[in-house]
Chains A and B, each alone.
Chain A
Amino acid sequence: MNYEAVIGLEVHAELSTKSKIYCSCTTEFGGEPNTHCCPVCTGMPGTLPALNRKTVEYAIKAGLATNCTISPFTKQDRKNYFYPDLPKGYQISQYDLPLCKDGFVEIETENEKKRIRINRIHIEEDAGKLLHGEEDNNSYIDYNRTGVPLIEIVSEPDISSAREAKSYLEKLKAILQFINVSDCKMEEGSLRADVNISVRPKGSNHLGERTEMKNLNSFRSVYRAIESEIARQIHVIKSGGKINQETRRWDENKGESYPMRSKEDAQDYRYFPEPDLPPLIIKNELVERLKKELPELPDARKQRYVSEYGLPEYDAQVLTSSKELSDFFEETAKQSTNVKAVSNWIMGDMLRILNERNLEIVDIPFPPSYLVRLITLIDKGVINGSTAKNVFDLMFDTGKDPDNIVKEHGLEMLKDQSFLLEVIEKVIRDNPNSLDDYKKGQKKVIGFLVGQAMKATKGKADPQILNQILIKRLED
């Protein structure tokens, strides 16, 4: 029996407004505990919420960018429950009239494009942060984060695999970054995902019992957790057991999930309309204005890279996976005549170095024009390919422009024919059998000898000239 997975994601993204959703405290990440707070966001008696206009506008933009319908009439509701990180004992959220509905996002699967539908997007406030004492029996609360505006994006259960979930999450992240409403940093908690998973026999119309997975702090966790849960559920069913509808907590270190205390499931939130906040009428003019303000979205940009720059789909996909990456690429491509090379450098060496050194695009210590210059140096034959890689590394180390680096380190390609001939002669002398091997017809010898010559010149020789000289020499 083959099983298929039915997966839905609930994604929370922190909106990058200056001030919180219901008060004028900063939304800045970090800071000493309880220093970004006021009577409103700490729920002191007598305080009232005042809705931040930008929160609504950003949420509408997120809805427009995901093809949602924007509700013409919307309101906020109280979600009532007790937890120490929730200062008022209720969260102001939206219940039955969310701001955005019925949208979708397109992802690439192995074979084709797939549409993941979005059920709703609504605005709500974030809660505080809890720290649990290691040795003592206490917990500690920091309310800096309470009141940071969130949008909750709820997908339909259209996702069928961990890979699709990851793609969906990446696409949402790219979209939200492109439209500048969230910086979507999972490590900082500005993008969070909870996953709902069930399995069923392939082709069945029935929905299996589902579980909810929490504590997914990275894309990798999302992927691993889903794979793990699908496997676990299939295993349980195959062994004749039943899936309990429960919330499970993912442990990234152990690579396993555990059921959380089931009292979570029995919550009666007693939703009712928030009496302290007047409802909202979203007029067409506002929606149209915000639509016009939307920048080019990732998919549109990707298409443009394919048609305008002639890049393959795969390259365009990678380059539009994040706004910063895409912006860096565009800046560089604009100034360069060799867009394919730009694409290759960024997708290859640059992403590798960023990964190795744990850097973000914003940390790159040089401007796009330096990369353009580097490529020009190669194209003009000033340096060769492998030198260029060294130069690129040095650009990251020093932030200096490539011309400077090449001069300082004397990395210009060696092209002097007589000098190179001497090098070749020495290489051949050092490898006497090579001549014979060549005469015997082993063309591989050329590569080997060129390699040796490159070594001798510390990689600076012009490989084409070397090749020419070598072949001429061998023929003689």
Chain B
Amino acid sequence: MQITIQDIEQIALTAQLELTAEEKERQLEKFNKLFQDVEVLAQVDTSEIEPLAHVQSIKNVLREDLLQESLSQEKVLQNAPDQEEGMFKVPKII
């Protein structure tokens, strides 16, 4: 399963990452190396197996519908790179 530069570009777009040409080459090389090793997985017979998303068998853990005090507006915005009038500020979204 050979991955191409175009694949890397597509993935980067989906992941909102911008790579230089050199970075793309390096990542591509490592990608293909890793996926060589991943091939061994394809050989494993998993036809009768259910995917295991949660290693614990716990189910039905829920929280009661009770209110707790929210953070102050100040604390919510305390790490904001940019803010105005109590809102997070970003370049215009068209």
A residues adjacent to B (C-beta < 8 A): 17-19, 24-26, 32-39, 42, 50-56, 75, 82, 84, 130-133, 136-143, 261, 268, 270, 272-273, 275, 277-281
Give CA–CA (A19, B62) in the complex, Å: 13
Q: Which chain B residue lies CB-closest to A49?
A: B63
Which of B21-29, B30-38, B70-78 contacts its partner?
A: B70-78
Contact A279 B92, CB 8 Å, known A17-B65, A37-B76, A38-B71: no
Instruction: Among B16, B60, B73, B77, point to the contact of A281 (Cβ < 8 A).
Output: B60
B68 within 8 A of A: yes
Q: Please state if B16 and A33 are interface contacts (CB–CB under 8 Å).
A: no
Give CA–CA (A117, B81) in the complex, Å: 47
Instruction: Among B59, B64, B88, B94, point to the contact of A141 (Cβ < 8 A).
Output: B88
B85 partner residues in chain A, CB cutoff 8 A: 33, 140
Instruction: Among A34, A35, A51, A141, point to the contact of B63 (Cβ < 8 A).
Output: A51
In this complex, which of B16, B62, B64, B70 has the most chain A Cβ atoms within 10 angstroms of its Cβ? B70
Q: Which chain A residue lies CB-closest to B51?
A: A273
Q: Could you list 29 examples of A-B contacts with CB < 8 Å?
A: A18-B66, A24-B66, A25-B67, A34-B73, A34-B87, A35-B76, A38-B70, A50-B62, A51-B61, A53-B62, A53-B65, A55-B65, A133-B92, A137-B92, A138-B91, A140-B85, A141-B88, A142-B87, A143-B76, A143-B88, A268-B14, A270-B14, A272-B53, A275-B53, A278-B56, A278-B61, A279-B53, A279-B59, A281-B59
Contact A37 B90, CB 8 Å, known A24-B63, A50-B63, A53-B63: no
Q: Which chain B residue lies CB-closest to A56?
A: B62
B18 within 8 A of A: no
Give CA–CA (A24, B64) in the complex, Å: 9
B42 partner residues in chain A, CB cutoff 8 A: none
Known interface pairs A34-B77, A275-B54; 12 further A-B residue pairs with C-beta atoms within 8 A, sorted by A's residue number: A26-B70, A36-B70, A37-B76, A52-B65, A53-B62, A53-B64, A53-B65, A55-B65, A130-B93, A136-B92, A139-B90, A281-B59
In this complex, which of B54, B66, B88, B91 has the most chain A Cβ atoms within 10 angstroms of its Cβ? B88
Q: Which chain A residue lies CB-closest to B65?
A: A54
Question: What's the least CB distance linking A131 to chain B, in Å?
Answer: 7
5 interchain residue pairs of minimum CB distance: A24-B68, A54-B65, A140-B87, A273-B53, A53-B62
In this complex, which of A35, A39, A142 has the most chain B Cβ atoms within 10 angstroms of its Cβ? A35
